[in-house]
Amino acid sequence: MTTEDKSQQSQFEKSRFGAMMFGGAVYIGVVIAVSTLFISFVLGAFDERAYFQRAVMVIAGLLIGGSMLAMPYALHNWAISGTHRTVTTVLYFGEILVIAVNTLVSFSSMLAEFSGTVLPEWISLYEPFTILGAVYTLVAWAIIFTTDPAAKITERELEAEQKFKARVSNKKLEFLDSLEGEDAVMQVALADIADSFNPERFSKDKKSFGSGKVKPALAEQLFTKKQAISDKLPEIEADDKSPLQ
C-alpha cells in the first residue's frame, strides 16, 4: 500500500467516523422525541394520583427507547454474523415498525384530544394495543439472548459433559456386574474387614511409646538435684564471721 493509498484510507476513516457521529446524534434525537411522545400518550391512561403506575410507565417508555439505541450497538458489536445477526436485524426493523405505528397513534390521539380532530376508526381500535410495544421489546431481546452462538456453544459443552458422565456411570455398573468387578469388590471388602476388625483395635493392653530402641536415661543424669536452703546456711554463717567484720 502506497503513501497515497494510506492517506486516502485515513481520510475515508475520518469522514466515516464523522458521518457516524452525526447520524448517531440524529438517531438519538429522534428516539428521544418519539419516546417522549409515547410516554405522554401512555400516561393519559392513568389517574394523576396513580404515582407508582405512572412512574413505572415512564421507566417502561425509557427502556423501549433504550432498546432502539441498543439494537444498532448489538448489530455492530455482538450479533455480527450468521443466524444471530439475521434474527437481530429482523427484530430491529420490527421494533422500528412498532415504534412508528405507536408514534402515529400517540400523536393522532393527543391531537384529537387537544384540537378536536376526529380520529380514524382503526386508530381508536388500535389504541389499547400500543402497550404491546413493551412486550415486543421484551420478546425481541429474549430471542436475541437465546440465539447467541456463545450460549449455544456452552449448551453443547454442558450436554456433552452430562452425556460423558452418564456413560462413565453406565460403564461402572457394567464393570460391577462382571467377574472382574466382583473380584475387585471382594478385595476391597476383605481389606475393609481386616481394617475394621483388627484385633489391635480392641486390645486393652498398654501401647508402647516410641520405637523401644532407646533406653530411658536416669533421672540423675538428666536433672540436677536442687540444693536445699538448709545446706547453704553453714556457708552463709561462715561469710558473716569473716575478718572484715
pTM, entire model: 0.61
Q: What number is the average pLDDT over the span 209-227?
A: 51
**Each residue's pLDDT tens digit, 22-50:** 999 999 999 999 999 999 988 888 888 88
Higher per-residue pLDDT: 229 or 126:
126
What's residue 137's pLDDT? 94
pLDDT, mean over the chain: 81
Q: In this model, does residue 221 exceed pLDDT 70? A: no
DSSP designation for 208: P
Structural domain spans, the chain: 3-147, 158-197
What is the DSSP track for 28-72? HHHHHHHHHHHHHHHHTTS-TT-HHHHHHHHHHHHHHHHHHHHHH
